Amino acid sequence: MSGDPHHVPLPTIALADMKILKDCFTRTIRDSSRMNQGESRTDLIVLLQIIWDQIILPIVNVLEHVLKLKCSSRIWLCPTAAFMSIPLHAAHPFQTKPDYSGKELCLEGLYIWSYMLTLSALIRSRQLMKKRVPLSFVAIRQGQPGAGKDKVLLAVDSELVLRLG
């Protein structure tokens, strides 16, 4: 870890809004569990858009424009307090580009991200990396695509190629 911390203001969301957002998620997820598969989950999509617009997008803007972080770089999310009750990883703009050529990228399409429970855990892990502790990687994929009743996971091979290089 290098460099100074960067404060990312979130001017459009207050602490009281975070409690409301958390309560809305709790209610929406509970309600969604009772819905049929084909029913629209518009309320959940709206909540994920709010997280994107008001929390994640300002962070992505700092990563891209201030820190000049390249796409596919690793980032660590370390939520605290009210942020621990909000599914930051699920944030998504759910909007098409102006030329309708496709969807905007969400956080997972921009960066390789992980959650850290505490900043001290992140610091310890970075210190171990400096000591050249061998890194390990585990990839799990379908053994026999399409075997039995399971559906073929079409993106597995391309995802492994992307992640493994």
**How confident is the model over 81-104, as pLDDT tens digits?**
888 888 888 888 876 555 545 556
Give tens-digit pLDDT for 65-76: 888 888 888 888
Domain boundaries, the chain: 15-135
Across 111-137, average pLDDT: 74
SS3 assignment for the chain: CCCCCCCCCCCCCCHHHHHHHHHHHHHHHHHHCCCCCCCCCHHHHHHHHHHHHHHHHHHHHHHHHHCCCCCCCEEEECCCHHHHHCCHHHCCCCCECCCCCCECCCHHHHCEEEECCCHHHHHHHHHHHHCCCCCCCCCCCCCCCCCCCCCCCCCHHHHHHHHHC
Query: Over the chain, what is the mean pLDDT?
Result: 77
| pLDDT at residue 89, rounded to an integer | 83
State the pTM of this model.
Answer: 0.66
